[in-house]
Amino acid sequence: MFTRREALSNLFKYLVTGGFLAVAWGYLKGLGPARVEVSFSKRPQENEVIFQEGVYLVGLEEGPSAFAARCPHLGCKLDYRSGSERFRCPCHGSEFAMDGKWIKGPAKRDMRALDVKSEKGSKACCVTLTLA
């Protein structure tokens, strides 16, 4: 006969083991992190920012760039400040330039850059975001 403490201890062990096996099975089946493709109907003009589905598409002098809309510090959703041409984290105050470069705050890395795909001559852009 198990004591209550032994039963709870065994239950905890089984739950942890089951959780680990579920995650491992997902990766073994090739699921891994989800990949989401975000399509933009137009390319941004220089200094224009378009937000859609967790992605900022920014028109830079050298062409469009895309960034994940999450702060690299703790993952808060970044706000775009059009007057200052900066992205700002409302949680802890980190700031980033239009090109995603870190300016100030507790985040010590740049915004996460994403690959932008567009067909030659097309006015649309497509961005692939990997959700970890």
- pLDDT per residue rounded down to tens, the chain (132 residues): 778 888 888 878 888 787 777 766 666 665 555 567 777 777 788 888 988 888 898 988 888 888 999 999 988 999 997 788 899 999 999 999 999 999 999 998 999 988 887 766 666 666 665 554
pLDDT of residue 90: 93
pLDDT of residue 129: 54
Return the amino acid letter for 11: L
CB atoms within 10 A of CB 99: 14
In the numeric block, which tokens belong to residue 118?
Answer: 């567009």
Domain extents in the chain: 1-32, 34-131
Torsion sign across C-alpha atoms 105, 109, 110, 111: negative
Q: Decide: 109 and 118 in contact? Cβ < 8 Å.
A: no
50 contact partners, CB below 8 Å, separation of at least 6: 40, 42, 44, 56, 57, 58
CA 73 – CA 37 distance, rounded (Å): 24
Torsion from C-alpha of 110, 115, 119, 122, nearest 10 degrees: -40
What CATH number does the domain located at 34-131 have? 2.102.10.10
Which 3 state secondary structure label does DSSP give 28?
helix
Torsion sign across C-alpha atoms 26, 30, 32, 34: negative
CA 95 – CA 71 distance, rounded (Å): 9
